[in-house]
């Protein structure tokens, strides 16, 4: 599943190819995604893409008529910039043919993704976006913010950092890995974390996401490859999906439990 680093890598991958470029044609081959593809998408023909931004796992293509094209990759979505003459793959659902001679294609086998045309002047007021917590890589996500979000919550810290009202884009892999780096057991009651442990966790969340985005940089060329789909990348994992294997730091067998219906992994020695 594309997580925040993959979405940011996608943003960086498509940005140079779509910014300042006109949309010649909008092609919708299937509109039954998680929500129906907006019918007003065709009104974008002839318009220019001004910028490509990201909020959480949503990509926001700002259009020169002050509307926004919102794309979410869902469970299995990907975007490619390719030759419009390239063969259509079974799950290529939406495409924008560009004045540059290229085409931006949205591919999504499981169709949990979204392609929506937002007409709000400020797209961040849209219902999908307005209640999102701070971006993990921006200065607003601080130890103080996290500590306040943890106050009076007996829930496991792992579930709290995966709550998009607390911070966006920390999926299961990154939550597990960040807690390992911070030396915090995932089941720790959130309210028990001190400010200094919150600080460690904020730093660790930033590190795992940044490392993964950096890793993704090496896959950017795939956005121009008409054969393959952009590969989702896996950084070197310390605990995630390593149940029973030796901890890379201390050799202790990695523990596993299901928490909030999600698999959770930790080292009982390194994480307290």
Catalytic residues: 2-3, 57, 262
Which region, judged by CB under 5 A, interacts with Zn ion, from 13-21, 87-95, 99-107, 248-256? 248-256
Among residues 81 and 204, whose Cβ is nearest to Zn ion?
Answer: 204
Which region, judged by CB under 5 A, interacts with Zn ion, from 24-32, 34-42, 142-150, 261-269? 261-269
Neighbours of 247 (CB within 10 A): 20
Tell the smallest beta-carbon distance from residue 8 to Zn ion (Å). Answer: 29
The verdict on 250 binding Zn ion (CB under 5 A) reads yes
CA–CA separation, 6 and 188 (whole Å): 28
The tokens for 193 are 């974390």
The partner residues of 265 in beta bridges, in order of sequence, read: 256
Among residues 86 and 250, whose Cβ is nearest to Zn ion?
Answer: 250
Question: Residue 16: helix, strand or coil by DSSP?
Answer: helix
Among residues 58 and 238, whose Cβ is nearest to Zn ion?
Answer: 238
Q: Which residue's Cβ has the minimum distance to Zn ion?
A: 247
CA angle 125, 34, 205 (to 5 degrees): 60
Tell the smallest beta-carbon distance from residue 255 to Zn ion (Å). Answer: 10
Tell the smallest beta-carbon distance from residue 214 to Zn ion (Å). Answer: 24
Among residues 140 and 250, whose Cβ is nearest to Zn ion?
Answer: 250
CA angle 242, 248, 249 (to 5 degrees): 135
The verdict on 254 binding Zn ion (CB under 5 A) reads no
Of 76, 50, 70, 54, give the one whose Cα is nearest residue 10. 54
CA–CA separation, 42 and 25 (whole Å): 8
Tell the smallest beta-carbon distance from residue 173 to Zn ion (Å). Answer: 18
Among 149, 156, 213, 270, binds Zn ion (CB under 5 A): 270
Report H helices in 151-218. Answer: 157-161, 172-182, 195-217
Find the binding residues for Zn ion in span 228-247 (CB under 5 A).
Answer: 247
Find the binding residues for Zn ion in span 27-56 (CB under 5 A).
Answer: none
State phi, psi for 13 to the nearest 5 degrees.
-70, -40
Of 264, 134, 125, give the one whose Cα is nearest residue 205. 134
HSE toward the beta carbon, residue 80, CA cutoff 13 A:
22
Residues binding Zn ion: what is the number (CB under 5 A)? 7
Of 45, 84, 52, 91, give the one whose Cα is nearest residue 71. 52
The verdict on 249 binding Zn ion (CB under 5 A) reads yes
Among residues 139 and 244, whose Cβ is nearest to Zn ion?
Answer: 244
Tell the smallest beta-carbon distance from residue 267 to Zn ion (Å). Answer: 3
List of residues contacting Zn ion (CB under 5 A): 247, 249-250, 252, 267, 269-270
């Amino acid at each position: 599943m594309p997580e925040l680093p993959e979405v940011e890598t996608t943003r960086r991958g498509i940005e140079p190819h779509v910014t300042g470029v006109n949309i010649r044609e909008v092609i919708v081959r299937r509109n039954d995604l998680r929500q129906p593809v907006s019918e007003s998408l065709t009104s974008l023909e002839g318009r220019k893409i001004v910028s490509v931004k990201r909020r959480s796992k949503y990509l926001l293509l700002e259009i020169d008529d002050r509307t926004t094209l919102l794309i979410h990759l869902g469970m299995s979505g990907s975007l490619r910039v390719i030759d419009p003459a390239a063969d259509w793959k079974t799950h290529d659902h939406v495409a924008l043919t560009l004045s540059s001679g290229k085409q931006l294609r949205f591919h999504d086998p499981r169709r949990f993704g979204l392609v929506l045309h937002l007409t709000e002047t400020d797209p961040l007021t849209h219902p999908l976006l307005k209640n999102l917590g701070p971006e993990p890589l921006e200065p607003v996500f601080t130890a103080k913010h996290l500590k306040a979000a943890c106050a009076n919550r007996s829930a496991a810290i792992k579930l709290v950092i995966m709550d998009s009202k607390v911070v966006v884009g920390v999926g299961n892999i990154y939550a597990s890995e960040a807690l390992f780096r911070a030396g915090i057991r995932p089941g720790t009651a959130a309210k028990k974390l001190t400010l200094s442990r919150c600080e460690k966790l904020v730093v660790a969340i930033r590190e795992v996401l940044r490392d993964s985005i950096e890793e993704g940089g090496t896959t950017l060329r795939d956005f121009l490859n008409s054969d393959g789909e952009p590969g989702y990348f896996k950084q070197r994992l310390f605990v995630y999906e390593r149940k029973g294997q030796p901890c890379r730091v201390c050799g202790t067998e990695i523990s596993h439990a299901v928490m909030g219906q999600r698999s959770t992994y930790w080292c009982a020695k390194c994480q307290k």
